[in-house]
Amino acid sequence: METSSSSSSSSSSCMKWSCENGYQPHVLAVDDNLVDRKLVEKLLKNSSCKVTTAENGVSALEFLGLLDEHNQHTNFERSNEWQQRSKVNMIITDYCMPGMSGYELLKKIKRSSKMKEVPVVVVSSENVPTRINKCLEEGAEMFMLKPLKQSDVVKLKCQFMN
Partner 1 sequence: MEVGLMRRQWIQYIEGLIHEGTLDGQYLQLLQLQDESNPTFVSEVVTLFFEDTEELLNKLRIAISQPPVDFKKIDDHVHQLKGSSSSIGALRVKNVCVDFRTACEQQSPDWCSSCLQQVEQEFYGVKEKLSYLYALEKRILNAGGSIPADLSF
Do 134 and 103 contact (CB within 8 A), yes or no?
Answer: yes
Q: Is 19 in the site for partner 1 (CB under 8 A)?
A: no
| Residue 143 near residue 124, CB atoms below 8 Å | yes
Q: Is 35 in the site for partner 1 (CB under 8 A)?
A: yes
Non-local (6+) Cβ contacts of 54 within 8 A are 28, 29, 30, 60, 63
Which of 111, 114, 116, 149 is the binder for partner 1 (CB under 8 A)? 149
Find out whether 46 and 69 touch, Cβ atoms under 8 Å.
Answer: no
Rounded CA gap, 47 and 107, in Å? 27
Task: Name the residue nearer to partner 1 (CB basis): 16 or 38.
Answer: 38
Residue choice 79, 83, 133, 150 for contact with partner 1 (CB under 8 A): 150
Out of 33, 48, 56, 59, name the contact with partner 1 by CB under 8 A: 33
DSSP structure class, residue 22? T
- How many binding residues for partner 1 (CB under 8 A)? 17
Q: CA torsion angle for 53, 58, 63, 66 (degrees, to 10)? A: 140
- Choices 26-34, 100-108, 114-122, 130-138; region in contact with partner 1 by CB under 8 A: 26-34
Query: In terms of CB distance, is 44 or 161 closer to partner 1?
Result: 44
When the beta carbons of 10 and 147 are compared against partner 1, the nearer one is 147
Identify which range of 5-13, 17-25, 112-120, 146-154 contacts partner 1 by CB under 8 A. 146-154
**2, 78, 98, 127: residue in contact with partner 1 (rule CB under 8 A):** 98
**Alpha-carbon distance 105 to 50, whole Å?**
21
Q: Per rule CB under 8 A, is residue 12 in the interface with partner 1?
A: no
Question: CA 113, 141, 51, 35: dihedral to nearest 10 degrees?
Answer: 120
Binding positions for partner 1, rule: CB under 8 A: 32-36, 38-39, 42-43, 46, 96, 98, 125, 146-147, 149-150
